[in-house]
Structure formats: structure tokens, C-alpha cells
Amino acid sequence: MTKHICCCSLVGRGRYSDGPTQLLLCFSILFYHILPLSLFLKNKINSYLINTFQITLFWLYRILPSVRHKPFTPMSCGDLTENWNEVEPDPNQLRWKPFIIPKSSEKKVDFISGLHTVCGAGDSKSRNGIAIHMYTCNTSMTDKCFQNADGDFLIVPQQGEILITTEFGKMMVEPNEICVIQQGMRFSVDVFGETRGYILEVFGAHFELPDLGPIGANGMANPRDFQTPVAWYEDRTVATGYTVVNKYQGKLFSCQQDFSPFNVVAWHGNYTPYKYNLENFMVINCVAFDHADPSIFTVLTAKSTRPGVAIADFVIFPPRWGVADHTFRPPYYHRNCMSEFMGLIKGHYEAKEGFQPGGASLHSIMTPHGPDVDCFEKNSTAVLKPERVAEGTMAFMFESSFSMAVTKWGLDTCHRLDKSYYKCWEALKNHFNPNWKPSSK
């Protein structure tokens, strides 16, 4: 979203307005207030020869530069991995019960140690691929921050709000909101109890709004509803050492420094962290007949180098009206050229029983799936009148063109795989009647 909007924030001055006509004024105001403060300047930019309209960058004005640290050394990765060959491929429909959150009375687990990779594909070294993680934690990060050198994190809280401190400022992110921490940004996570959520990581691309095509200028996720942090800093010496954890080429490394990395007094640019409330999504839906593809529910997409093909899409299934006539309204049975990983933030998913908040499912490329028996029978005979769909619910999907491999943790050591999932389709009956004729009405 911020690719087309240049923002500016200075502590004590708030956020300056954005827009192409105000960029010069924005720079002038920022430099006027920054020059007397004796700050270090840090710049991040993408490839220098990229199309002008695709340039993303930021300028950070720091009390101390981030280069002042001890050497990085390897550290334990826990269940965080980029090894897609741990176990044999499994093309079956997979569903997980809600992932377990560790009790704080038993073990203190922060955001980093609570990261678990479920599945993924591709390679961060070649800058092409994705990984899907769960985070389950109960303790805030103290004198510690995280940096992902491999890609962007799209974070979907499911239980418990998280306070994310970034170099750009703070963001409080609650369930039913999402946030994106882009590649290379340092952040720390505070939690307020037992906390769980989902993460979609993409290598080699950044999330952006999908092309709207015939929908036009307004609809789906509107740029005005995305929020970026206001500058916040702390000028703090940490005599006992501040830990910087770096995810690099799928591994974790840590280093020590004696000051807080959140010492940015001001920033400017269009490459920022941001958050979005899913309730602001303007739903597009069928109002006559038939069932539209779920692409109409795309919030963000990370495009591949192939036109029209995404590395990953983030899709939601929000509360909406169902009004289609002469139509089986739930999602249809299908096989897909994309991998579909689904999660549930709250409520009851419309197409299936047994899919619980905090759980997940994976339907791999060309593996058939669709509504369970009860959903099919009920909706095949339902009186088609306007009705609310998914009220009080928020399900979502990470859809990818990659054929995803499930990790050993996902298939085994998490102990949450529902091995009876396939049974929800076993009782589907043959309703074919070759003598059926349409009614004369």
C-alpha cells in the first residue's frame, strides 16, 4: 500500500501528510527539524535500476547506527526451518486441531522461540518461495529484537493482541487485524498472556494490493485503511547486552550490542511496516447467480515474475450477504493449480464442521476438496433467500502457486494433525437422476 504513498514521521511532530504534491514539503520539514539533532542517517532501497514507479525506500534518522554490534553467531532454530525434505511428500487433505499454546507456568516462550514452521516451498537464497509458520507464545521479548533478512512477514493474530515495536514506531495488532513487517525491519513483540497466530512469509517479493480490473477504483481493501506507525524512540543503554536475532538463509543468528535498536527519531519513505483491520474490507460478491471465485476476497498479493501468477495471496472469507439464485452457495468441490492453506481467526467456518479457531488445513495442488456432507445436504435443499453468511466468523487462506512441503513438526511433532479429516467426505451420496427434468414453472 505504501508503495504509492510516501510517509514521514518525526517524534513530537506526528505524521506529515502524504501525496506526490507534498513530497518536497515533507522532505523540507523533516530536514529542518532533524539537522540540529546530530543523528545518523540510514537508507534502504531496492534495486537501483528498477522502474521508477516501483521504487521502495526508507530513510531512518538514528541516535546510533545499527552497524555498531558484535559479530553474528549461529543459534538454535527450534522448529523454524527451511528444510522441505525432512519428510516424504504427502498429497492428502490435511487438517490441524488448534495448535497448543505453552503455559507460562510451565515454560516461558517468547515470539522467536515460539515460531514453528508448518509448510513451505522454494528457497530464500534464490529469493523465490514461501513459508507458513505458527507462533505460540506467552512471554514478551525483553532486550531482544528480530530481523528477517529472508523476506516479509504477514502476521495474523488469532488469540491475544500483540504490541509490535519497530524502528518506525509501535503497532498494537489485535485478532481480526493483520500486519506486515517487511524484509530487514527490526521489531520486538510484547504479549499480554497466551498468544497464538499465523505467519505467511514470502521470499523475493513484497505484498501489495491486487489489481482491481473491472471493479474499478473502489472495493476490496482500500489504501486509506492501512495504517503505518508514528515515529517513537528510546535512547537507552543496555549494559547487560541487547540481543539482535537475524533470520538469514533459513537459519537464526544472534549478536549483541549495548543500545536499543529502536532509536529512530524520525523516518521518511514508502517502505514501512503497516497494519490493516479486516473489518474494513469492502466485500465484492455475486448478486445474481453462480459462485464467484475466491479471488474477489483477496486482501494482499505477492506477485511472481509470471504475469497473473502469485507467489502467495492473502484471502479472507468475511461476513457478507448470500443472495445468489439457482446456485449451490457454499464453495464448490474442486481441484486447484494452487496450494490452499486455511486458518480460522474466530467463529465457525461455513463449509465444514470441525475446523476450529487456531487450527488450520492444507489442500495441496490438485488434491480434491470442498464442503463436508452436512454442508452439501443442507445447502442442496435450502430455500434460496437472502441470508447473512459467516456472521461472527473470519476465516482466511494463504494461497500459493508453489507445491508446498509439510515439515516434520507439521506432520508429526506438533501432535495436532487430525488423521480422521478425510472422513468428512465419506458419506457423500450419489444423487444423479438421468430422468430428471426441469419444472415447468
Catalytic residues: 291
Spatial contact of 221 and 42, defined as CB atoms under 8 Å apart: no
Backbone dihedral region for residue 145 (phi beyond 0: left; psi -120 to 50: alpha; all else: beta): beta
CB atoms inside a 10 Å sphere around CB 285: 15
The amino acid occupying position 379 is N
Q: Is 340 annotated in some ligand binding site?
A: yes
Residue 246's beta-bridge partner residues? 147, 253
Q: Is 88 annotated in some ligand binding site?
A: no
Measured distance CA(208)–CA(178) in Å, rounded:
14
**Nearby residues of 421 by Cβ (< 8 Å), 6 or more positions away:** 93, 94, 95, 354, 361
Would you state the cell numbers that stand for residue 422, as one nine-digit string? 478425510
Q: In what order do the strands lie in the sheet with 186-191?
A: 73-74, 251-259, 237-248, 144-148, 186-191, 162-166, 169-173
CB atoms inside a 10 Å sphere around CB 243: 18
Q: Is 333 annotated in some ligand binding site?
A: no
Measured distance CA(127)–CA(267) in Å, rounded:
27
Q: What is the DSSP letter of 409?
A: I
Q: Is 349 annotated in some ligand binding site?
A: yes
Antiparallel, parallel or unpaired: β 14-16 and 195-203: unpaired
Q: Which residues are annotated as a binding site for Fe cation?
A: 334, 340, 369
Q: Which residues are annotated as a binding site?
A: 334, 340, 349, 369
